[in-house]
């Protein structure tokens, strides 16, 4: 990296709803880069053979999930007001994606440890006490080395049944340990006698550090 370049750090909190939930992470990166170009923001590019905009994402979102707590870091070559960045992006961003806020500086995304999800199944289980009390919850789960039987219990911090037919889950999140709520639902279908969740909707509503302080 060029020592003399002065770059300005920013991070964005954005939401992904409606149709935008079908955009995969990789496609989102391309969509986002093009949005930056359309907005005419002074994006900093990597140097070298194949320059690409400098940005990093906190935690990729699965296809089909909605979220209101997505976080990404970027670098600009000029200093701009936070509101201006937000508004210029929102003016040219595709439907279903919206920048909620822009912030100057580095985010705390390296501290990410947990995420909170709201799951809307067709049917909620009557009781999850038994499920939560299981010593081991083994389910086939995609890992870096292929699909493997994995005990997911250590990565479930909390599950609560909400009054509106939804479930709240707080699960491990980040590059070290990560558990997605659809895997938990799959385990519920396996372990809770007679339970059939049906199709579910998944929404990520917050991300936290080790001590459950929200990262935003």
Q: How far is the CB of 96 from other proteins (least distance, A)?
A: 6
Residue 79 Cβ vs other proteins, minimum distance, rounded to whole Å: 20
Residue whose CB is less far from other proteins, 26 or 147: 26
Task: Report whether 107 contacts 70 (CB < 8 A).
Answer: no
Binding mask 6-45 for other proteins (x = CB under 8 A): ------------xxx-xxx--xx-xx-xxxxxx------x
Spatial contact of 104 and 41, defined as CB atoms under 8 Å apart? no
Of the listed pieces 1-9, 94-102, 108-116, 188-196, which binds other proteins according to CB under 8 A? Answer: 94-102
The yes or no reply on residue 106 touching other proteins (CB under 8 A) is no
What is the secondary structure of the chain as a DSSP string?
A: --TT---EEEEEEEEE-GGGGGS-HHHHHHHHHHHHHHHT--BPBPPSSS--B-EEESSPPPTT-EEEEEEEEEEESS---HHHHHHHHHHHSPTTEEEEEEEES--SGGG--EEEEEEE-SS--S--HHHHH-S--EEEEEETTEEEEEE-GGGEEEEEE-TTS-EEEEEE-SSSS---HHHHHHHHHHHSTT----S-EEEEEEEE-TT--B--
Does position 185 bind other proteins by CB under 8 A? Answer: no
Confirm or reject binding of residue 142 to other proteins (CB under 8 A). Answer: no
Residues sharing a CB contact under 8 Å with residue 168, sequence separation 6 or more, in sequence order? 116, 117, 118, 119, 158, 159, 160, 162
2 binds other proteins (CB under 8 A): no
67 near other proteins, rule: CB under 8 A: no
Min dist. Cβ of residue 88 to other proteins (A)? 12
Q: How far is the CB of 86 from other proteins (least distance, A)?
A: 17
CB 36, min distance to other proteins, A: 7
**How many binding residues for other proteins (CB under 8 A)?**
28
Out of 50, 145, 164, 175, the only residue in the binding site for other proteins (CB under 8 A) is 50
**95 counts as binding other proteins under rule CB under 8 A:** yes
**What are the residues binding other proteins (CB under 8 A)?**
18-20, 22-24, 27-28, 30-31, 33-38, 45, 49-51, 63-64, 92-96, 199
């Amino acid at each position: 990296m060029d020592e003399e370049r002065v770059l300005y750090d920013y991070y964005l909190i954005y939401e992904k709803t409606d149709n935008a939930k079908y955009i995969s992470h990789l496609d989102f990166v391309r969509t986002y880069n093009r949005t930056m170009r359309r907005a005419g923001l002074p994006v900093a590019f990597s140097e070298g053979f194949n320059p690409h905009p400098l940005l990093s994402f906190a935690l990729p979102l699965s296809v089909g999930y909605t979220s209101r707590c997505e976080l990404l870091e970027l670098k600009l070559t000029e200093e701009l007001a936070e509101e201006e960045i937000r508004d210029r992006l929102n003016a040219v961003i595709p439907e279903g994606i919206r920048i909620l806020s822009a912030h100057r500086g580095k985010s705390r995304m390296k501290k990410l440890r947990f995420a909170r999800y709201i799951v809307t199944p067709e049917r909620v289980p009557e009781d999850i006490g038994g499920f939560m009390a299981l010593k081991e919850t083994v389910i086939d789960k995609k890992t870096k080395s292929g699909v493997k039987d994995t005990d997911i219990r250590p990565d479930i911090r909390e599950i609560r049944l909400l009054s509106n037919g939804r479930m709240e889950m707080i699960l491990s999140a980040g590059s070290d340990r990560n558990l997605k709520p659809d895997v938990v639902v799959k385990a519920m279908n396996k372990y809770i006698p007679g339970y059939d969740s049906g199709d579910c909707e998944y929404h990520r509503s917050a991300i936290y550090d080790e001590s459950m302080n929200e990262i935003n």
